[in-house]
Amino acid sequence: MNEIDLKGRIAVVTGGAQGIGFAIARRLVASGARVSLWDNNAAVLADAKLALGDAASTVEVNIASYDAVEAAVVATEQALGGIDILVHSAGIAGKNAPLDEYELDEWRRVIDIDLNGAFYVNRAILPGMKARNYGRIVNIASIAGKEGNPNAAAYAAAKAGVIGMTKAVGKECAKYDIAINAITPATAKTRILDELKPEFIDYMLSRIPRGRFLEVEEAASMVAWLVSKENSFTTASVFDLSGGRATY
């Protein structure tokens, strides 16, 4: 494992108690950062805190509520100090259904969490980064945001929105020492698969030329460099992590 120097950095990882988020949090801690794990599940937060030790703190937060996100920023800054790093990983897959049969409430739920939540978290944390003229943000999008997946239009639309938002805000903040990028992972074996039909999971695997799912540690390795001081030039960009699936 390459050594990335994050000593003295304060990081927030949303969805940080499980899956890709937890793997990223673990890598950031190993690199010397102190990490605030944001999640809406108190039980998994407690387990993650136990696993990561004193370098981690936790905040239970619903990212679909801007008031809750603002309160989480205040709690994190009071506990740890100014936030240098944001990795926004929280999200849901939503149900599988053709668009013309997609439940309206389910569409709104996916957009509220996966797109509006990304906006809320970035919006709440960015002012502090601007004031300190330093920050690194990685928004976890998805290969679905580039290529779309049939019977998952809400998720694909939300992740495409995250990609577009990241490119826009990265350009807005280019005059600061703030790098804002996104990654587009293919499917990893995490709890998010519990929401999906087995045939849909098989479809997604069949689309990956590597012939296997993403390992969460592979995502953590890419993110660790993107949130380091070494990434001083690249911003408003999207990094593929799809095992060869992406065509652009």
Catalytic residues: 155
Indicate if the alpha-carbon torsion angle 111, 93, 211, 207 is positive or negative. Answer: negative
The whole-angstrom separation of Cα 154 and Cα 120 is: 18
Which of 128, 187, 138, 174 is CA-nearest to residue 4?
138
Q: Which two tokens stand for residue 87?
A: 């990795």
CA dihedral 183, 211, 154, 37 (to 10 degrees): -50
DSSP-derived letter for residue 190 is S
Instruction: Map tokens 């239970």 to a residue.
Output: 60
Indicate if the alpha-carbon torsion angle 210, 215, 216, 217 is positive or negative. Answer: negative
Which of 138, 169, 167, 163 is CA-nearest to residue 148?
163
